[in-house]
Amino acid sequence: MSEASLEVDVAAGADATIGESPVWSARHERLLWIDITGTQLHVHDPAEGTSEVVTTPSSIGFLAEDPSGDLVLGLEDGLARLGADGKIERFAGAPHANPAFRFNDGKFDAHGRLWTGLMSREGKKLSGILYRFDPDGTWNVADTGFDLPNGLEWSRDGRTFYFTDSHKGEIYAYDFDAASGAIENRRLFFSMDPAEGKPDGLTRDAEGYLLSVLFDGSAIARLAPDGPLERLVPLPVPRPTSCAFGGDGRTLFVTTARIGLSDAQLEDASLSGSLLQLDYDDAVR
C-alpha cells in the first residue's frame, strides 16, 4: 500500500457545513454539489472558474443525476427535480414521515432506479435503511440494519453493488441483478477502524478501483476491485466527504465539511467547507 503526494487546489471556495454529493453533469458541463444543512446547491463551471448558489427549500440529503440527465434532489419530504431554470419541483414523497430521519447519499443505476440511504439524525444504531426508488414511482426496501448508510457504487461490469456504513467503518458488496434491481449475498468488502477515518462517499475510477473518501481520515482510500487498500490519497482537510470525476475524466473534485471542527482545527485546515480538486492521474502515477 502506497501513499500519494500531490497538489490539491481549491475549485470553489465555500464555507459548507456538510459539503456532499458532487455530480458532474455532462448535459450542463458543470460540477454540482450540495451543502446538506446549509440548504444550498452549488453549481461550479470549471471552464470559467465561476460558481453559483441555489437556495433549497429544506436540507438536502443527496443530489443525483438520472440516466437521461435530469438532476434529482433528496429533500426532507421527498424527491424533487432541478429544472434548467433553477426551479425545484417535487415529484415524489419520501418513504417515511419521521423528522428524526433523512436521506443520505444517493445514485441512479443504469436502468433509472434510484438507490439511497435513510439515516437517523440522532445516530441510532441499526436504524439505517437502504431504499430503491423504481421508475414506476414505488419505494422498495433493499436492505436494513445500518448505523449510518452512506456511499454507494457499482462495479465496472455492473454485477456488484457496493454500499457503505460509515459509523461501522465498513463497505459491503452485494450481487446485483441489473434486470430486476435485486441485490443479494451481502458480504464485507472492506473495513477499517473508524477512529482512523470513516468511509463516506464512494465512486469508481476507469480502472475499476473504488475511491472511498475518509471523513476524519484526511484522505481518499483507493481500493482494489477485490477489496485491499491500494493507496491513500492525502487531503489538506480532516473531513472530506465525497468525490466525483469531472468531464475530462482526470480532474477529481472533492467535497468537504466544517461540521464539528473547532476554531483551531479550522485555522489549521482553512479549506474545510470548500470544493477541492486534484489531478487523479498524478495521484495514482
Evaluate the CA torsion angle 229, 234, 240, 246 in order and state its sign.
negative
Does residue 143 contact residue 116 with C-beta atoms inside 8 Å? no
Query: Which residues are within 8 A (CB) of 118 and not within 5 positions of it... i.e. 6 or more apart?
Result: 95, 96, 101, 102, 103, 104, 128, 129, 130, 131, 149
Residue type present at position 210: L
CB-count exposure of residue 98 (10 Å: 0-12, 13-18, 19+)? exposed
Per-residue cell: 237: 482537510
Q: How many residues does the chain have?
A: 285
The conformational region for residue 69 under phi > 0 = left, psi -120 to 50 = alpha, else beta, is left
Q: Single out the catalytic residue among 200, 226, 268, 279.
A: 200
177 classed as catalytic: no
Torsion of CA 225, 229, 230, 234, to 10 degrees: 130
The CA–CA distances, whole Å, from 274 to 112, 157, 179, 203 equal: 30, 33, 39, 19
Distance between CA atoms of 52 and 280, rounded to whole angstroms?
25
**DSSP 8-class letter at 281:** H
Active site residues: 200
